[in-house]
Amino acid sequence: MSSDAPRWEAPRGGDRHVSTPEVDRPAPSVSAPPRALAHPLPAGMRDLLPEEARRRRALAKRVLDHFVLYGYQPVALPAFEFAEVLERGLGTLDAADVLRFIEPESGEVAALRPDMTPQIARLVATRLADAPRPIRLCYEGTVFRLRQGRARRHRQIPQAGVELYGVGTLGGDLEILRLAASSVREAGLDRFVVDLGHAMIARALLDAVPAGLAAELSEVLELKDASRLAAVLASPRAADVPRRIVAAIAALPDLAGGGEADPDGAVVFGRAAQLLSGTPAEAPLAELRALWDAARASPELGPALRVDLGELRGLAYYTGAIFHVLAEGPGEAIAAGGRYDMLLSRFGLPMPAVGFALYLDAVAWARDAASAADDPAPRVLLAVPPERSEPLAAALRGLGVPVVAHPPDQDPEGYAQAWRFSHLVRERDGSIVLEVLPGGGEPGADALPATLDDAAVAQAIVLKTRATPPGGK
């Protein structure tokens, strides 16, 4: 390509559907759709272009490797299962929430997974039923949901998470909370909040309310709509509900604390103890307080902890402590989890269970908001004569450096910048010159004697690009 040819730059993550370089061609007619819309994706689906895909892959690998360091072993799961299996794990699946279809070989209704925890429960109950406990598993994959929150626009939600089976409440909950906090830090975020609650506090109170009214109250509590909550509780339908239960439910949205105003949680837990004393929520409150006190004593958790006794999670399988992790940027949780001791019993193998998932897109969003630095990703473009490019490329690949050979006379600098290579190697004045490109580090160039053999040149390039050979530290 000549230097005065039209210049194309690889699209960034936000540039959807763009896949071909800009070239001279007739202007489209008024009636023709833009090229990006000529082959649209289904609503909520999206492509990841090279740089965004690289960043996603690097983030997923980083957190999965972190899980493995803590003894969690990876498993891989199918993208869809028979709806009956997912219904057993999640409760009845609302058709508005789940992408369903008829599986052609069996004629059975199948569904794209809206959550991976029931799948792993099925796997443990069938394939790992006799495995020694505790069982520690981790995973990475995409779930598919139709109904999304305000900030989550996509149907496909990439996750990475862990499941811990066979460890009871306090010990297991604390292990998962610590791992969630350390995983968020490993992902590059230092400023975040861990909001802690208990699924059975609100649920125990709602169990004392007629079913129809309880469903409406649950919806209102999830929205934290205090005025509507007061109106529902003051309606004739709540006339027969014990006044102590009404007072406790009405107070739930305000039972939140921690942070600078109430660092040890004494205020919120003291008020909750008065309101919930003598109600079915008294026991889960005591369980949450024990976890709070243990977590507060943990250096990696204490400063980040908050408590929210009115938290209700949409998934029905939670039976104990629940939490979500919040950071500036996405306007929604970047991680969430909790305890679900009854889930395995639905698959015939009763066992305590707790886990969490990181939402990778939300984590990436929070990283951008925090200006978190990406790990260096050296990619070298070789613009040297063919007799040298192939052996040098082989030597670099053997050291773990991604490399592409490019004709020296076809605008290597423009190509390298368009496709975001970090370094450009070419011959100049009898030397091999390694140039640092934008995004590859401090700008500059280093000259190496052309008389060096390929192995020596490759080693020098590795040092200059700060690449780590396989097995290196």
Least confident of 13-22, 103-112, 209-218, 318-327: 13-22
Alpha-carbon torsion 150, 155, 161, 165, what sign?
Answer: positive
Q: 30-78: per-residue pLDDT in tens?
A: 455 556 667 788 877 888 898 889 899 999 999 999 999 999 999 999 9
What are 333-363's pLDDT values in tens digits?
A: 999 999 999 999 999 999 999 999 999 999 9
Q: How does 122-152 read in b/e, with b if 16+ C-beta sit within 10 Å?
A: bbbbeebeeeeebbbbbbbbebbbeeeeeeb
Q: Residue 267: pLDDT band by 50, 70, 90 thresholds?
A: very high
CA distances from 216 to 276, 313, 315 (A): 21, 15, 16
The mean pLDDT of 228-249, rounded to a whole number, is: 92
pLDDT score for 147: 59
* 3-class secondary structure, 255: coil
Two tokens at 416? 């390298």
Q: How sure is the predictor about 10, in pLDDT bands with cuts at 50, 70 and 90?
A: very low
Per mean pLDDT, which range of 60-74, 158-172, 374-388 is the poorest? 374-388
Quick check: 330 and 323 in contact, CB under 8 A? no
CA separation for the pair 46, 36 (Å, rounded): 12
DSSP element (H, E) containing 195:
strand 193-198
Q: Which pLDDT does position 467 carry in this prediction?
A: 45
Q: Which of 33-37, 124-128, 386-390, 460-464 has the lowest mean pLDDT?
A: 33-37
CA distances from 19 to 9, 16, 132, 171 (A): 11, 9, 50, 50
- Mean pLDDT in residue range 86-93: 73
Band of pLDDT at residue 154, cut at 50, 70 and 90: low
